[in-house]
Amino acid sequence: MYQIKKILFIAGITAIITIAATAAIAQQRPAFLSKDAEYLWPTNASSYLSATFGETRSSHFHAAVDIGTWGREGFDVYATRDGILHRVAVSPYGYGNVIYLKHDDGSFSLYAHLQDFEPRIRAIVDSIRLRDFNPDFDRNMERFRIHYKQGEVIGRTGSTGIGPPHLHFELRTPANSPFNPKLAGISVPDNIPPRFNGLSVEPLSPDALINGKRNILTAVPTIRGGVFDFGTIQVSGEIGLAVDVSDRADNANNVYAVYELELFVEGDRYFYSRVDSFSYSSVGQMFLDRVYPLLRSTGRGFQRLYVRNGNNLPFYKTNSNKGRIRLPEGTHSFTVLARDFSGNESKATGRLAVSANTEEPVRNLIKQSFIPPPAIIAMNGDVRDFNRWFWNSNWIAPGTDTKPLEITMLRDNGNGAEKFTFKNTLSNSWISLEQARSAILATSDGFTYELHRLHPGVVNAISTFDQKAWARFSENALFDSMSVGISYRIEKNGLPSVSVMPDNEPLRTSFRLSFDLKGIPDELMDKMGFYTHNSRRNSYGYVSTQRNGTVLTATPRQLGSFYVLPDTTAPVVSNPRIYRRADGKWFASVRVRDDLSGVDYRKSTFYVNGVRGIAEYDPYGSVLIYHLPDFRPRRVNTLRLEVSDVYDNRTRAEFTVNN
């Protein structure tokens, strides 16, 4: 048995005690941890977990536990074990101010979103940054030979990087892979079982229907006798189940990730998962573990109870069909079990009423033997109707909420063109993409969209017919084979938007998107960039863009629609202030806003009373902060700034601020 040290809070007094790990946890601890390994609860802020390991984030799994700080900053952060200062970074994004300690067994502990470092670290970081006033910092620190004993203060809690205030506490193996800190005893009392919030059912084959529709179904449970029941669902073809499930701890309001999931169909185990550790090289596979279309559209992290192609996370044990469900006609029961790390368990049940799809399937008109030339699919509707179709990586089918469309497909059968027309009112109308290298979609509103069959492990390049827009996917960009289409159109402002579809299929890595701006006025060329559009907020998000001659190239992380826009407006600077932090340090700040390409804090300068400081940026508060060691304001202070955006539109501002 090994030991875990925790901090207790009694009448405002901090006490460190040692508690014994349970036998269950000791059996599950990582192999590199010796039986004598001890971990200290890393802060005196609270003993409250606000988030746990493996939770859904916007683009990755959460790789740590978060410890709540009650909306406040400046609590002590302790070295959880003896260790050497391995790495320190400062950034307005991601981890923010972060410390990495390396321990004797080669493992690491990481402390992120800090308000500040202890004085030795702060002095080194600032002395290096002040050489060129670069606000960013990320260096290996082992050459400074700074060692900490367990329990020594290494920093203060904060909200840098991603707020609100909390401590992100992460443990990594000697191979630098994050592992669940609960395996090391970092835990809280938990006697509350998980809760099922929803079920999703995905069609996985062209003949799959769910309650008569070819869409992803979501359902909410009723609770009967402590069991969550999802009722009876009508299905045909091959389907996949997923659950939206959460957990809580005693006296906690935050919801957590569950530790284990199991799926049984008619008593046979189809799927099992347990989240102990993962490699950073596979962190993006969260998009495959979750139902990506629902995550993208609703933000809810439905966890799949089957393994999608391309997913090699180490979480799973499944049947021979990877948890996918295809059953004979009749009614079949299923059970889902969810457990938290403390062993609390909840059960969900449901029934699948399986029927055969008896309608004659539409002929597969896209055959390898007829490519090239590509198959041509002509529709009597516009592109908006087609975008509402259900996209699978291997086939597409009309969604049940689309209006009836007549679709004509042409192919060269060797003796001339063959024409076939059908209406998508047929529930089993679908177009196979698996054997086609390309297919042209032509709509009645003049939209032309060419689908290309792409494969992982090779470089893939696609373009529009006129070569104005093209995309390049590296050999590592795709999780699995899929069909991708590219098109563009000229918007009302006279500038292009480029669509790379389908946007409900995730990518492993970013891709390169290019557009030839030949014909755009020269005075705008240097200001052009790619942007995504958030229709709910009616706002644009900049995608990092470079220009080579008349060609713009961006590196989007996912597929979708991208707008080419000029940024000719300088940032707005307002709300100057001088303030003193709770630890006694003085700062100056201004509010900055730029609605297109965004503030480029690296190119911005900040002087107070004629002395230049480091211009640190808080993107979430839209604040530029003047940082200078030992700064002391006068009674009347002059703030002088030059704030730039990505496209070098600059605002020069001067303010007088009384202290």
Determine contact, residues 69/136, Cβ cutoff 8 Å: no
- Can you read off the two tokens belonging to residue 380? 């009597």
Residue 519: predicted pLDDT: 84
* 457 vs 18, more confident: 457
| The pLDDT of residue 1 is above 60 | no
At 246, is the pLDDT very low, low, confident or very high (cuts 50, 70, 90)?
Answer: very high
Domains in the chain, please, with CATH?
3-184 (2.70.70.10), 195-354 (no CATH), 368-566 (2.60.220.30), 572-658 (2.60.40.1220)
Looking at the chain, the whole-number percentage of residues with pLDDT higher than 90 is 70
Lowest mean pLDDT, pick from 68-72, 278-282, 390-394: 390-394
Give which of 451, 425, 453, 431 is closest to 440, Cα–Cα.
Answer: 451
For strands 260-265 and 268-274, give the pairing: antiparallel
496-553 confidence digits (pLDDT tens): 999 998 888 999 999 999 999 998 887 888 999 999 998 888 899 999 999 999 999 9
Look up residue 388 and give its DSSP letter.
Answer: T
Beta-carbon contacts of residue 407 (< 8 Å; ≥ 6 apart) = 377, 378, 379, 380, 421, 422, 423, 424, 429
Look up residue 276 and give its DSSP letter.
Answer: S
Distance between CA 117 and CA 154 in Å, rounded? 6
Lowest mean pLDDT, pick from 242-256, 299-313, 364-378, 388-402: 364-378
User: What is the rounded average pLDDT of the residues 204-214?
Assistant: 88
Residue 407: predicted pLDDT: 54
Residue type, 232: T
Determine contact, residues 564/552, Cβ cutoff 8 Å: yes
Look up residue 75 and give its DSSP letter.
Answer: -
DSSP per position, 469-517: EEEEE-TTS-SS-EEEEEEEEE-TTS-EEEEEE-TTS--SS--EEEEE-
| The pLDDT of residue 450 is above 80 | no
Global model pTM greater than 0.85: yes
User: 117: helix, coil or strand?
Assistant: strand
Give which of 472, 485, 505 is closest to 443, Cα–Cα.
Answer: 485
| The pLDDT of residue 400 is above 80 | no
300-356 confidence digits (pLDDT tens): 999 999 999 999 999 999 999 999 999 999 999 999 999 999 999 999 999 999 998
Looking at the chain, the whole-number percentage of residues with pLDDT higher than 70 is 83
Look up residue 103 and give its DSSP letter.
Answer: -
Look up residue 637 and give its DSSP letter.
Answer: E
- Can you read off the two tokens belonging to residue 544? 């990092």
425-438 confidence digits (pLDDT tens): 445 566 667 665 56
User: What is the rounded average pLDDT of the residues 168-194?
Assistant: 94
At 186, is the pLDDT very low, low, confident or very high (cuts 50, 70, 90)?
Answer: confident
Give which of 162, 153, 155 is closest to 50, Cα–Cα.
Answer: 162
Distance between CA 406 and CA 422 in Å, rounded? 6
At 185, is the pLDDT very low, low, confident or very high (cuts 50, 70, 90)?
Answer: confident
Give which of 108, 232, 122 is closest to 629, Cα–Cα.
Answer: 122
Distance between CA 633 and CA 635 in Å, rounded? 7
| Structure-derived torsion over alpha carbons of residues 233, 237, 238, 243, reported in degrees to the nearest 10 | -10
Residue 625: predicted pLDDT: 98
User: 19: helix, coil or strand?
Assistant: strand
